[in-house]
Amino acid sequence: MQELSDAGVAVHGVGKIDDLFAGVGVAHSHAGATNAQALASVEQLLARLEAGLVFVNLIETDQMYGHRKDSRGFAAALRQLDKHVARWLAGMREEDCWC
């Protein structure tokens, strides 16, 4: 993220990203205390950003389901995320992704 930031690419951290990386390389921090809030923040960013990296931590998926080995909760969270990602991908231009 620091290399992107040094290259002039705005890095947006959603949820705990700023904390997890001690702010290194994160230009803007956005709310994401729950999965729903983080996903809403990503939706808002994608609607207004022309360029940059959006890096999100889905805290409930990680802490509530992953660390506690709650496979049903984790699967439900992934299904919810899949719905969002499908919508985001449908709205992206070819130049939006460097994959």
Structural domain boundaries in the chain: 2-96
Q: Which comes out higher in pLDDT, residue 51 or 94? A: 51
pTM: 0.88
* pLDDT tens by residue, 22-81: 999 999 999 999 999 999 999 999 999 999 999 999 999 989 998 888 899 999 999 999
* Mean pLDDT to the nearest integer, 3-25: 96
Contact residues for 46 (Cβ-Cβ < 8 A; gap 6+): 54, 88, 91
C-alpha 83 chain-centroid distance: 14
